[in-house]
Structure 1
């Protein structure tokens, strides 16, 4: 646990008692704060009370008369589309609002004066690939013998980790919900994977979404920034952070295009990762036969992870060796079975159009299981990947409306996962991939994308058992 510093003897309120909220309450108490809590769910409040926390309603301004700070969970809106009533009450009362990420950064460095090598924090954000990139950085560090912990939006809550030891590294995956509110953001290395439209209602549009991501780089001023520049937002961010073309504090990353100049670049083209510094190539890795990193989108993730680990002093060959032992993450380009020349891949995490497009482009012939709760913007951006689709098998509560947007694509309305997988398995020919890449949220039929992916896996296993 990382005890929260700066609130010894003060009252701090915690709103939302899920994983991050309850973890924050414990860490605050460990640091000497008196903690009051609230969650709209009775069971969550009862769990907190069983641990000795005082429950207090927080939807009125007077509830904050003696409160020094309100700590809120990332899923609770603090500004758009409208603030939660408790957060609005805190703001009216003039009480600062923070989250567990802000508490983590303000508290992490306690006791480091005795270390020979201060620990480092690598923070990863972006629209897609955050989890894979974060897990890959952690895997490379661990495989290279470095003390590493993975936390944030993946793995453990940030305040649940052990205090890092001498020279240790903490790798954080951070969503826009987390970076948008944190009052302290001071990573040593910050990574921006890529950018595409997502969570637009929460951030009041594309500009607000980008601003939330940008805070990780603008607020804390990382020593090194790894920036994916395939989109204009990334190129703009890299330009803002750089003092000139040769400024190697910014490592520019790309997939599908060559980068050149006097700076520091890592890019992937035709399946090869290349590192260039000061106008010459210094390393190259063949990514094509690395099973855990299929497709151009995973090559982009590999470039970002490579760059982050190089900035921490690791050599190209030890990074390459670790890449070859990476097995990938559940629900992200996860190979779950193969029979009669047909491969089954679970990419349930492809909840938006951009990530689904990248999944489609990773395979030449696809039996595509798709559909769910559509996000803003429609499906038009999927068009470049539809040429890879032999047939789309649409699930969800309103599959017809989803299917209508798949212009010039062979579509079968299935409704549920079992029907979609059964029909795709029956139709698939050797060399094809049955791919779950929904291009939609899961909440119309599932609690989360993990449950959707688990259902896909169960349905695939049931089909394979018939062989």
Structure 2
């Protein structure tokens, strides 16, 4: 646990008592503060009270008298589409609003660091797609290299549940836009921007607000190094904003769309080969094609970003390549779950938006595509350019018929349920095919989460194959 600094003897309100909220309350208490908790769910309040925390309705008049701060869980809106009433009350009372990420950055460094030979570092990864895989890959490479490292944030543990840093420790954080948007402190050593595509637009008031939330990791934190995916205009703009000129190697530009050149520091992948260039010459390369845990161009982008971070931390290219080779991938992200009779079954349930689905579709040939779910804003129009390898689509979800009608140029069958989609795909698949779950939609019409959807896909595949 990371005890929170700066609130000793003060009362701090905590809104939302899920994983991050309870961890915040515990860390505040460990730092000598009193946590005043609230959640609309009585069961969540019961859990907090069983741990000795005081729960009080923060919507009541005068609730923020003598309160020094409000810590908000990431799922709770603080501005768009409209502020939660508790957040609005705190704003009107002039009470500073923060989240667990802000508490972490104000509390992670301690006086004990003066005795360390190597100061701990924090690597933070944000972006629309690939941030989980990139974060996990960085963590894996560091572990394989024998470096002390912990993984947290939007993946793994909550940030305040981390162990206090030891000499030379590297903390790897995956941070969503919900987390970067509100944190009052974001002082990373290395910050990564993978890419940007439309997502969570209602929460951020549009695309500009969404990009602004991501940009805060760099503008507010001032990282020593920034690794920036430059295949979208926003990434190009961000890299330019952070750089003092073409040769400024504090900014490492990453691409899978083109060969990068110039006097600075670049890492790019073309036709499955990763290349690192510095000061106009190549200094490292990795053949990514045989690495099964990183299939497709989108994973090659993740590999480029992870490679760049590892290089900033002093790892040699051969050490990084060895770490890549042993990386098994993450559940629900281009995860190979079965192979039989020449057919490969891949779970990419995390492909919850059109851009992520396009990248998944681009990673495989001869695809039998299971898709559908709760459609996100913007529709499916952009998917047409990525469906060339699709042999047939099997559409699930409450609105499967409407979803299928938008798949222009693709043979599609309405299956409604995962069980039926898997049954038909397995029956029709031939050697060389890939049965791919890449929904291009949220899961909430049928499942509690994309993880539950992916688990159901895996269970149905095993049932159909007789595992």
Normalising by structure 2, we get a TM-score of 0.99
Larger displacement relative to structure 2 (266-275 or 61-70): 61-70
Shift, 1:61, TM fit: 4.6
1:64 partner SS: coil
2:376 partner SS: coil
Partner in structure 2 of residue 335 of structure 1? 336
Partner in structure 1 of residue 345 of structure 2? 344
Q: How does 1:26-37 map to 2 (within 5 A)?
A: 26-37=26-37
Residues 80 and 202 in structure 1, CA contact (< 8 A), matched pair in contact too: yes
Residues 272 and 287 in structure 1, CA contact (< 8 A), matched pair in contact too: yes
Partner in structure 2 of residue 53 of structure 1? 53
Partner in structure 1 of residue 126 of structure 2? 125
Q: How does 1:360-379 map to 2 (within 5 A)?
A: 360-379=361-380
Partner in structure 1 of residue 464 of structure 2? 463
| Counterparts of 2:31 and 2:114, CA distance in 1 | 19
Residues 365 and 431 in structure 1, CA contact (< 8 A), matched pair in contact too: yes
| Counterparts of 1:384 and 1:336, CA distance in 2 | 27
Residue 233 (1) aligns with residue 234 (2): yes
Q: How does 1:242-321 map to 2 (within 5 A)?
A: 242-321=243-322
| Counterparts of 1:60 and 1:252, CA distance in 2 | 50
Residue 435 (1) aligns with residue 429 (2): no
| Counterparts of 2:61 and 2:76, CA distance in 1 | 18
Residue 72 (1) aligns with residue 72 (2): yes
1:67 partner SS: coil
2:62 partner SS: helix
Shift, 1:354, TM fit: 0.2
| Counterparts of 1:229 and 1:153, CA distance in 2 | 23
Partner in structure 1 of residue 88 of structure 2? 88
Shift, 1:60, TM fit: 3.4
2:161 partner SS: coil
Residues 137 and 306 in structure 2, CA contact (< 8 A), matched pair in contact too: yes
Q: How does 1:37-48 map to 2 (within 5 A)?
A: 37-48=37-48
Partner in structure 2 of residue 359 of structure 1? 360
| Counterparts of 2:60 and 2:214, CA distance in 1 | 31
Shift, 1:28, TM fit: 0.3
Q: How does 1:123-272 map to 2 (within 5 A)?
A: 123-272=124-273
In the TM superposition, what whole-angstrom CA distance separates every residue of 1:236-279 from its partner, at most 9, and x where no partner exists? 00000000000000000001310000000000000000000000
| Counterparts of 1:234 and 1:110, CA distance in 2 | 34
1:155 partner SS: coil
Shift, 1:448, TM fit: 0.2
Shift, 1:113, TM fit: 1.5
- Name the count of aligned residue pairs: 466
Residues 367 and 432 in structure 1, CA contact (< 8 A), matched pair in contact too: yes
| Counterparts of 2:393 and 2:219, CA distance in 1 | 42
1:306 partner SS: helix
Residue 110 (1) aligns with residue 110 (2): yes
Residues 150 and 170 in structure 2, CA contact (< 8 A), matched pair in contact too: yes
In the TM superposition, what whole-angstrom CA distance separates every residue of 1:18-46 from its partner, at most 9, and x where no partner exists? 00000000000000001110001111000
| Counterparts of 1:208 and 1:383, CA distance in 2 | 27
Residues 20 and 157 in structure 1, CA contact (< 8 A), matched pair in contact too: yes
Residues 384 and 409 in structure 2, CA contact (< 8 A), matched pair in contact too: no
Residues 186 and 220 in structure 2, CA contact (< 8 A), matched pair in contact too: yes
| Counterparts of 1:35 and 1:195, CA distance in 2 | 36
Residues 256 and 270 in structure 1, CA contact (< 8 A), matched pair in contact too: no
| Counterparts of 1:206 and 1:439, CA distance in 2 | 19
| Counterparts of 1:356 and 1:164, CA distance in 2 | 37
Residues 120 and 188 in structure 1, CA contact (< 8 A), matched pair in contact too: yes
1:128 partner SS: coil
| Counterparts of 1:252 and 1:214, CA distance in 2 | 15
| Counterparts of 2:445 and 2:176, CA distance in 1 | 22
In the TM superposition, what whole-angstrom CA distance separates every residue of 1:47-68 from its partner, at most 9, and x where no partner exists? 0000000001011351001100
Larger displacement relative to structure 2 (420-429 or 110-119): 110-119
1:408 partner SS: coil
| Counterparts of 2:274 and 2:165, CA distance in 1 | 31
Residues 61 and 92 in structure 1, CA contact (< 8 A), matched pair in contact too: no
Partner in structure 2 of residue 13 of structure 1? 13
Partner in structure 1 of residue 63 of structure 2? 63
Shift, 1:365, TM fit: 1.1
In the TM superposition, what whole-angstrom CA distance separates every residue of 1:321-341 from its partner, at most 9, and x where no partner exists? 000000000000000001111
